[in-house]
Amino acid sequence: GESVGLHLPTLSVQEGDNSIINCAYSNSASDYFIWYKQESGKGPQFIIDIRSNMDKRQGQRVTVLLNKTVKHLSLQIAATQPGDSAVYFCAEKVNAGNMLTFGGGTRLMVKP
Amino acid sequence: EPEVTQTPSHQVTQMGQEVILRCVPISNHLYFYWYRQILGQKVEFLVSFYNNEISEKSEIFDDQFSVERPDGSNFTLKIRSTKLEDSAMYFCASCLKAGGDTQYFGPGTRLTVL
């Protein structure tokens, strides 16, 4: 079946560097995408979202890029900090439903 | 900032027993969800709930599962006869409206079935 997937299971970056976490999705009917951060023992924490009629959205230190042509979503974190260390999930919503389909997650490790 | 809360944080039960997981969604939100995450795996959708009825459910949400909003603040997930494979983190989420509005997650309940 169609699913959201991630290219890299673990990403290790130096503190202060920029991080890019990627996500591939296969369902062209998806119209809404979210990035969540999950720290150990906690629930997913909303980072940023983007609708399918946009290709870029910026937040505080984070940018989400959506490329519908190749069905690719990325999360860019500027000036990565130790507190950014966590597992990052992309999730998609299809059509008018409310169900989120999550990807497998990427672990971001920030080295001081 | 308003948060989704869940109790208990950890529930241990014997196989075949009933469990009820409790959630208090954000107060003005209208849509409520349960997801689960088996250790080391993806977060998986179970059910969504709006206007006192189920609006979507996944294949996981079989007859052993039920949800209820018993009052104006609580949202519960009941598993009637737990199985070993029900062991997972269970997350409650809520959002204000449909159509791609952000779903905010609670901290989760870790269910361990022995």
Does residue A8 register a pLDDT over 60? no
Q: Which of A109, A107, A90 is nearest to A27 (CA)?
A: A90
Q: Which of B95, B86, B22, B85 is nearest to B55 (CA)?
A: B95
Would the CB atoms of B44 and A102 count as touching at under 8 Å? yes
pLDDT of residue A5: 43
**CB atoms < 10 A from the CB of A50, how many?**
19
Q: Are B58 and B67 in contact (CB under 8 A)?
A: no
Does residue B19 register a pLDDT over 70? yes
pLDDT of residue B99: 65
B8 prior amide bond cis, ω within 30: yes
Q: Which residues of chain B have a CB within 8 Å of the CB of A41? A: 107
Query: Per mean pLDDT, which range of A4-8, B10-14, B88-92 is the poorest?
Result: A4-8
Would the CB atoms of B43 and A89 count as touching at under 8 Å? yes
> pLDDT tens for residues A73-94?
999 999 999 999 999 999 998 8
Query: Residue B91 is nearest to which of A41, A44, A99, comparing CB atoms?
Result: A44
> pLDDT tens for residues B58-112?
999 999 999 999 888 899 999 999 999 999 999 999 998 876 678 999 999 999 9
Q: Give the contacts of B67 (CB within 8 A, at least 6 positions apart).
A: B32, B34, B47, B49, B54, B75, B76, B77, B78
The confidence band for A2, taking pLDDT boundaries of 50, 70 and 90, is: very low
A-B contacts at Cβ under 8 angstroms? 61
What is the pLDDT of chain A when averaged over all its residues?
A: 88
Would the CB atoms of A44 and B48 count as touching at under 8 Å? no
